[in-house]
């Protein structure tokens, strides 16, 4: 009987473990779920068939080898920085590897050796990256197979709160790692190409340059640019494309409101604040404002941000209880980003009855038979509950499907991969569709420009 070792039993693994368990009997394999906390692993496997729990220490090389040696395939759901150590051990012991994380330079450097060993290291096989790659390449390849030429590709994705659970003025709650939300867009300039012109958006302008998107049945969204869309030219074979843009989706109004935190400096993660453990929420806000012997914190903030007290932006700030002088940050040597995260988690954490939502939107502009055309492709996935969330489903299912396909030699090409070949995306997208993750396509008018920057200039 073959074995799969799943390392890391966090929230995003619930659907993955359930899927592997359901497949285990018919495909004849067992699943070992390993975590640094054995109790977490035991809780994760529940009463699923053919599942075992184990304790795993990523910092203990001998322990890693001991757990990886007897298995056939490893799934790493650890934080991305730990994948390379797992990968090196898998290469040494000749085991296949699957991760949902971006391919790092260190991982890519293993490609030649992985191919020599006849192994498959499949990366970027979650939702974003993952489902976005596969759904995009399926349409791009279809257009090319017909003789079409790609002119424009835009791709957007967002982890949001489901409409039935959307009950705050920000139309947002944390449905994945809160820290990643707080520091989104930092550490670089957003780069993309539009109508043949290179465009750059620095962090301090990122949340004021948005595009509007409409999804039938779910209303209007906005999107701000991801860090470097240009990386996808080579990955997707779009070296000559005129427009290439990737963005993160939110409900309309979120970006303008979030920009208030950016302009104040509250999302900064580069320095620590003195006596932050004793700092109240009100004092935290005041620390970013000019001193005044007479003006209140509220008045200084409105003046600094140029917002009126009847502005919806003000109502959004008030909803967060930012001016409370009793609640404390309670974190020693906190960065502004960490302090803001503490405040927001109090208001934006999911309740026991909340459901999350994943939205994805692709735009494909192309020329075929002398005519310019466009396909819009959308996918919406609503979570079932706090265990089987939309995030867990859209991350866990493609990871699980890929693992089983590799184990059963349905995916055969060796090397360090992302899922952009037909061998990979066709069977996985088919099975995702059978599990309710469905893309809806419609033919529309190709405009040759979009709302990011207006007409080409």
Predicted pLDDT of residue 449: 55
Other C-beta atoms within 10 Å of 9: how many? 27
Phi, psi of 307 (to 5 degrees): -125, 140
Predicted pLDDT of residue 11: 80
Tracing tokens 């209880």 back to the chain, one arrives at 321
Domains contained in the chain, CATH given: 2-123 (3.40.50.720), 131-253+352-388+438-444 (3.30.360.10), 258-348 (no CATH)
DSSP 361-413: EEEEEEEETTEEEEEEEEEEEE--SSSS-HHHHHHHHHHHHHHHHHHTTSS--
Strand partners, 245: 154
Rounded to the nearest 10 degrees, what angle do helices 390-407 and 14-27 cross at? Answer: 30
Predicted pLDDT of residue 333: 97
pLDDT at residue 450 greater than cutoff 70: no
Own/partner pairs, 39-42, CB within 8 angstroms, 24+ separation? 40/9, 41/9
Predicted pLDDT of residue 453: 43
Q: Tens digits of per-residue pLDDT, 390-421?
A: 999 999 999 999 999 999 999 999 999 999 99
pLDDT at residue 229 greater than cutoff 90: yes
How far apart CA 258 and CA 348 sit, in angstroms, is 14
Q: Tens digits of per-residue pLDDT, 200-221?
A: 999 999 999 999 999 999 999 9
Predicted pLDDT of residue 309: 85
Q: What is the mean pLDDT of the chain?
A: 95
Q: Tens digits of per-residue pLDDT, 91-119?
A: 999 999 999 999 999 999 999 999 999 99
Q: Tens digits of per-residue pLDDT, 252-288?
A: 999 999 999 999 999 999 999 999 999 999 999 999 9
How far apart CA 27 and CA 116 sit, in angstroms, is 27
Q: Tens digits of per-residue pLDDT, 72-88?
A: 999 999 999 999 999 99
How far apart CA 83 and CA 74 sit, in angstroms, is 11
What is the band of 10 on the pLDDT scale with cuts at 50, 70, 90?
confident
CB 439, CB 364: distance < 8 Å? no
């Amino acid at each position: 009987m073959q074995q799969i070792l799943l390392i890391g039993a966090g929230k995003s693994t619930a659907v993955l473990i359930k899927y592997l368990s359901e497949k285990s009997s018919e495909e004849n394999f067992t699943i070992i779920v390993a975590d640094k906390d054995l109790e977490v692993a035991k809780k994760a496997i529940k009463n699923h068939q053919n599942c075992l729990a184990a304790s795993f220490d990523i910092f203990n090389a001998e322990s890693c080898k001991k757990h990886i040696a007897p298995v056939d395939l490893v799934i790493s759901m650890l934080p991305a920085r730990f994948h390379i150590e797992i990968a090196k051990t898998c290469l040494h012991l000749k085991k296949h590897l699957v991760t949902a994380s971006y391919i790092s330079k260190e991982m890519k450097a293993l490609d030649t050796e992985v191919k020599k060993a006849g192994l498959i290291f499949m990366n970027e096989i979650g939702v974003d990256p993952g489902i976005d790659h596969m759904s995009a390449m399926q349409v791009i390849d279809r257009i090319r197979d017909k003789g079409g030429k790609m002119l424009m590709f835009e791709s957007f994705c967002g982890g949001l709160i489901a409409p039935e659970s959307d009950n705050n003025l920000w139309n947002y709650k944390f449905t994945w790692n809160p820290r990643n939300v707080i520091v989104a867009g930092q550490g670089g300039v957003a780069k993309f190409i539009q109508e043949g012109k290179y465009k750059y958006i620095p962090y301090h302008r990122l949340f004021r340059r948005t595009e509007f998107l409409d999804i039938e049945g779910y209303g209007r969204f906005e999107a701000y640019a991801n860090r470097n869309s240009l990386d996808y030219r080579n990955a997707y074979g779009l070296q000559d494309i005129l427009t290439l843009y990737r963005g993160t989706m939110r409900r309309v109004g979120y970006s303008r409101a979030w920009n208030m935190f950016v302009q104040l400096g509250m999302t900064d993660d580069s320095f620590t604040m003195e006596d932050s453990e004793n700092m109240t929420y009100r004092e935290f806000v005041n620390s970013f404002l000019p001193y005044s012997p007479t003006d209140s914190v509220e008045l200084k903030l409105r003046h600094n941000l140029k917002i009126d007290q009847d502005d919806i932006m003000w109502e959004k700030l008030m909803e967060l209880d930012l001016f409370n002088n009793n609640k404390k940050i309670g974190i020693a040597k906190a960065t502004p980003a960490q302090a803001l995260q503490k405040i927001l988690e109090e208001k934006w954490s999911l309740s026991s009855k909340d459901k999350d939502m994943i939205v994805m939107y692709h735009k494909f502009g192309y020329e075929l038979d002398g005519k310019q055309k466009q396909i819009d492709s959308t996918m919406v996935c609503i979570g079932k509950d706090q265990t089987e969330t939309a995030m867990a489903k859209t991350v866990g299912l493609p990871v699980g499907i890929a693992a089983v396909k590799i184990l059963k030699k349905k995916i055969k090409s060796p090397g360090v991969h992302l899922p952009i070949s037909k061998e990979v995306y066709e069977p996985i997208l088919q099975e995702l569709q059978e599990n309710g993750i469905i893309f809806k396509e419609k033919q529309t008018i190709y405009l040759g420009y979009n709302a990011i920057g207006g007409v080409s200039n």
